[in-house]
Structure 1
């Protein structure tokens, strides 16, 4: 699903509250866009974007779908607003320390945001509709690497791959959490059922490295993967890479 797939003009009006400044005739609206967004976010958080529809949101608000279209033109524009609203949850504090500490905070906040709202992982950001929170987030993140010798393009690219990394790591964490909910089986239960068959077909002599590493990793994690540990490990390596870039400027 793509952000910005609706009418960008209408999305921007909703995001910046422009349409609310226009004079309106008739009775005062029962709801605000924020009321609608709160209901929509609750649905998306609990059930994902597939469950989110104009009819569903309208039903939860106690109005008809036709009435809801008077506030928001379609699901596409509603998603644009949802993304911008939850992006506003990013903790934009002044982090003590150097660029590394600040960039680490950026990565962790993006990881937490995507884990908290898994439906964000279903929304492509290749054409983001720039609402107030999205712009504030971008400016805040750029300040983490401002004044350390990088060009504007390098600053943009660094923030891009840090947030992309956090996005991908969050996807792994979300999938690991959801698999137990969807299957009704814990990792231990799944492996208990799966292991006897694997032992029959897996040839440790043919795949010696996988046999040793896989066994040790599985014993360490108690599962096939440990998303939180993988995120921490990768984040350190990523920041080490940025340090090489920054060091090359000196």
Structure 2
């Protein structure tokens, strides 16, 4: 098993190492961006499991065997996809306000995950080290530089925000899948009587207060996310050296 894992990781590393060493020879027929974009289209349409070398090749108008000149296997192809998503994002210029800049990165990450529901499975816990991922990492770390944090604190803070956004979006996607195309009025008709019975029972006072008083359930998704993100950033600010 150790040998298999090592071979798989070596194939992922070669995706980027081979690209850096390739300086001579005929120009390739396809760029890695073209291959990744074709794979991303398939994943968006049919899900990540539908992405195969054959389908990607067919979308590019070539044979599956020709793709092996660029990527060793599907794992390496997914590596390209994960990195390419970040390369397609347009990030705002850094303002110098660390909370604003870190918040912009969190919002951009959320938008990417919502636009590509399969992406969370790929980004979560994956040691991706493509050029776009590395540039994104450098950008994130530079935002925290100068706040008096050590390198461990900087790294852990970025990991905290990334992990929180990923979990938040997973919950959003799960909720979206559960309710499907039902609008608020349809949800109210279906669940309203039961919710009213819970409130009238008097056994769940905090639930009743949320239904009667809380703003969050009635806000748009962006406002809810920004409110929660502000709380996360405030918590980070409270731990900064004086």
Q: Shorter-chain TM-score: which interval? A: 0.7 to 0.9
CA gap 1:51/1:187 in 2 versus in 1, 3 angstroms? farther
User: Is the 1:92–1:140 Cα contact (8 Å) retained in structure 2?
Assistant: no
User: Is the 1:89–1:113 Cα contact (8 Å) retained in structure 2?
Assistant: no
Structure 2 stretches of 5 or more lacking a match?
none
User: Is the 1:6–1:74 Cα contact (8 Å) retained in structure 2?
Assistant: no
1:72-97 deviation line (CA, Å, top 9, x unaligned): 22211111111111112344444224
Indicate the residue corresponding to 2:85 in structure 1.
86
CA gap 1:6/1:102 in 2 versus in 1, 3 angstroms? farther
CA gap 1:97/1:31 in 2 versus in 1, 3 angstroms? closer
Indicate the residue corresponding to 1:131 in structure 2.
130
Higher relative contact order (CA 8 A, sep 6+): 1
Larger helix share, 1 or 2: 2
Moved more, 116-125 or 36-45: 116-125
In 1, Cα distance between the equivalents of 2:119 and 2:158? Answer: 18
| Residue 210 (str. 1) matches residue 207 (str. 2) | yes
Moved more, 112-121 or 8-17: 8-17
Three-state SS of the structure 1 residue aligned to 2:144 is coil
Q: CA RMSD in A?
A: 3.0
In 1, Cα distance between the equivalents of 2:94 and 2:170? Answer: 26
CA gap 1:214/1:192 in 2 versus in 1, 3 angstroms? same
User: Is the 1:15–1:84 Cα contact (8 Å) retained in structure 2?
Assistant: no
Match of 2:231 among 213, 220, 237: 237
Structure 1 stretches of 5 or more lacking a match?
none
- 1:226: how far off? 5.2
- 1:236: how far off? 1.2
CA gap 1:104/1:5 in 2 versus in 1, 3 angstroms? farther
- 1:238: how far off? 1.2
User: Is the 1:204–1:211 Cα contact (8 Å) retained in structure 2?
Assistant: no
Three-state SS of the structure 1 residue aligned to 2:161 is helix
Moved more, 84-93 or 11-20: 11-20
| Residue 152 (str. 1) matches residue 151 (str. 2) | yes
In 2, Cα distance between the equivalents of 1:229 and 1:6? Answer: 45
